[in-house]
């Protein structure tokens, strides 16, 4: 079965953002800058410290990112839905992601029985966090 892996675009602050996500979500982070890549000679000096490709892996979660995005003038409305294992995990992660961002719906009980909330983080990425209610508990 194919896996969907979000690929986030940043404008020069990819390393900062991905390091923030590593603090929030855990896992291992690999970053390749333009300067460390085979295309370094083809790009201007001001781009050498930009991230060509970044990858954060935490369990089954993979986030990919780069500073090498193009502004196409199109709306790019995407939200990342993070399905948490428990309400406790959702609260801890939500609190970290919300630092410096804007909470649009505080994390709490939803009408469908889950713990749910959403926010926009300090890098402009929209997050929805959900934790299913424990059955029979």
Whether residue 54 is contained in a domain is answered as yes
d(CA 14, CA 41): 21
Verify that 126 and 94 share a domain, yes or no: yes
Provide the CATH number for the domain around residue 34: 3.10.180.10
Provide the percentage of residues in the chain whose pLDDT is more than 90: 82
Regarding pTM above 0.85, the answer is yes
- Maximum alpha-carbon separation in the chain: 60
Verify that 55 and 104 share a domain, yes or no: no
Whether residue 74 is contained in a domain is answered as no
Across 20-125, where does the E strand assignment appear? Answer: 28-33, 51-58, 61-66, 79-84, 102-109, 115-120
Asked if 87 contacts 101 with a C-beta cutoff of 8 angstroms, the reply is no
Whether residue 136 is contained in a domain is answered as no
- How do residues 64-121 score in pLDDT, each as one tens digit? 999 987 665 555 678 999 999 999 999 999 999 999 999 999 999 998 899 999 999 9
- 1 vs 4, 83, 90, CA distance in Å? 10, 19, 26
Question: Is 26 or 76 the better-scoring residue by pLDDT?
Answer: 26
Whether residue 35 is contained in a domain is answered as yes
Whether residue 21 is contained in a domain is answered as yes
| Tally of domains in the chain | 2
Verify that 85 and 37 share a domain, yes or no: no
What range defines the domain where residue 30 resides?
Answer: 7-66
Whether residue 27 is contained in a domain is answered as yes
């Amino acid at each position: 079965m194919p896996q969907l892996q979000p690929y986030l675009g940043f404008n020069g602050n990819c390393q900062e953002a991905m390091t923030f996500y590593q603090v929030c979500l855990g896992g291992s982070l690999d970053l390749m800058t333009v300067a460390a890549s085979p295309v370094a000679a083809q790009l201007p000096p001001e781009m050498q410290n930009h991230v060509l490709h970044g990858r954060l892996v935490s369990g089954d979660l993979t986030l990919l990112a780069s500073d090498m995005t193009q502004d196409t003038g199109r709306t790019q409305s995407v939200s990342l839905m993070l399905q948490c294992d428990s309400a406790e995990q959702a609260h801890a992660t939500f609190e970290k992601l919300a630092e410096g961002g804007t909470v649009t719906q505080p994390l709490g009980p939803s009408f469908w029985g889950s713990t749910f909330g959403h926010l926009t983080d300090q890098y402009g990425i929209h997050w929805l966090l959900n934790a299913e209610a424990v059955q029979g508990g």
